Amino acid sequence: MQRRGLLIILSSPSGAGKSTLARRLMAWDPTLKFSVSATTRPPRPGETEGVEYYFKSKDDFAAMVEAGEMLEHAEVFGNFYGTPKAPVEAAMAEGRDTLFDIDWQGGQQVRNSSLGKDVVSIFVLPPSIADLESRLRTRAQDSDEVIAGRMAKSRDEISHWAEYDYVIINRDLDTATDELITILRAERARRDRQPGLSEFVRRLNSEFEARTTGA
């Protein structure tokens, strides 16, 4: 009873822990396909082409958008981000779930796309704004100016929480991971996610009829 793959959207303000939760979910189920985005921002130390992102020039990125090769795209802090469509569609056809670590703008575009009926969207909230800022500073990857910009953006990001199917408050990473896994298990088990159920139940009924006839 192979089902069609899900599109799992994980969003949060920067620093709330969505990337860590995404890595934990991938470790729990290695069959998950992580959607690698394309971006025009330069690589950070330790980032590898095709692993964290596909790094594109602005001209190349614009050409992909123009050709309809992006499932979603958005401008964030002066750089462009987007999801190539072909790998996602291939994974869905194979019955594999694809995990998206994207912001609310990208999530909105995916939900409004032709693949929207296969979306499960989850928003991650920080336990407090003070905790959010502390996490950003602990990463030690951005300047004070960039951190201030991310904090200013966080209020707008958080205002979109009600657009999502599920919300997780990341007070404790282990608890938040368990909640995320529970959501995925439940969504996979939904009746409309299992296309072979009707045929399976017909076979069960045939067994009942065979028992009755035999008696």
Please say if the pLDDT value at position 212 is more than 70: yes
* pLDDT of 87: 86
Across the range 80-85, mean pLDDT stands at 91
Across the range 143-162, mean pLDDT stands at 86
Please say if the pLDDT value at position 25 is more than 90: yes
Band the pLDDT of 145: cuts 50, 70, 90.
confident
CA angle 129, 120, 90 (to 5 degrees): 125
b/e code 177-215 from CB counts within 10 Å (16+ = b): bebbeebbeebeeeeebeeeeeeeeeeeeeeeeeeeeee
Across the range 25-29, mean pLDDT stands at 96
Across the range 155-176, mean pLDDT stands at 95
Pairing relation of β-strands 33-34 and 37-39?
Answer: unpaired
* CATH tag, 7-203: 3.40.50.300
* pLDDT of 194: 84
Question: Up-side HSE of residue 181: CA atoms within 13 Å toward CB?
Answer: 14
Please give the biggest Cα pair distance in the chain.
80
Question: CB–CB of 153/17 below 8 Å?
Answer: no
Average pLDDT, the chain: 90
What distance in Å separates the CA atoms of residue 103 and residue 37, rounded to the nearest whole number?
Answer: 12
What distance in Å separates the CA atoms of residue 146 and residue 149, rounded to the nearest whole number?
Answer: 5
Global model pTM greater than 0.85: no
Band the pLDDT of 93: cuts 50, 70, 90.
confident
* pLDDT of 147: 81
Domain boundaries, the chain: 7-203
Across the range 139-154, mean pLDDT stands at 78
The helix (run of H) or strand (run of E) holding residue 178 is helix 173-189
* pLDDT of 175: 97
Q: pLDDT tens digit string along 61-76?
A: 999 999 989 999 988 8
Please say if the pLDDT value at position 140 is more than 70: no
What distance in Å separates the CA atoms of residue 40 and residue 53, rounded to the nearest whole number?
Answer: 9
Question: CB–CB of 2/97 below 8 Å?
Answer: no
* pLDDT of 187: 95
* pLDDT of 215: 56
What is the signed CA dihedral for 7, 53, 27, 141, rounded to 10 degrees?
-120
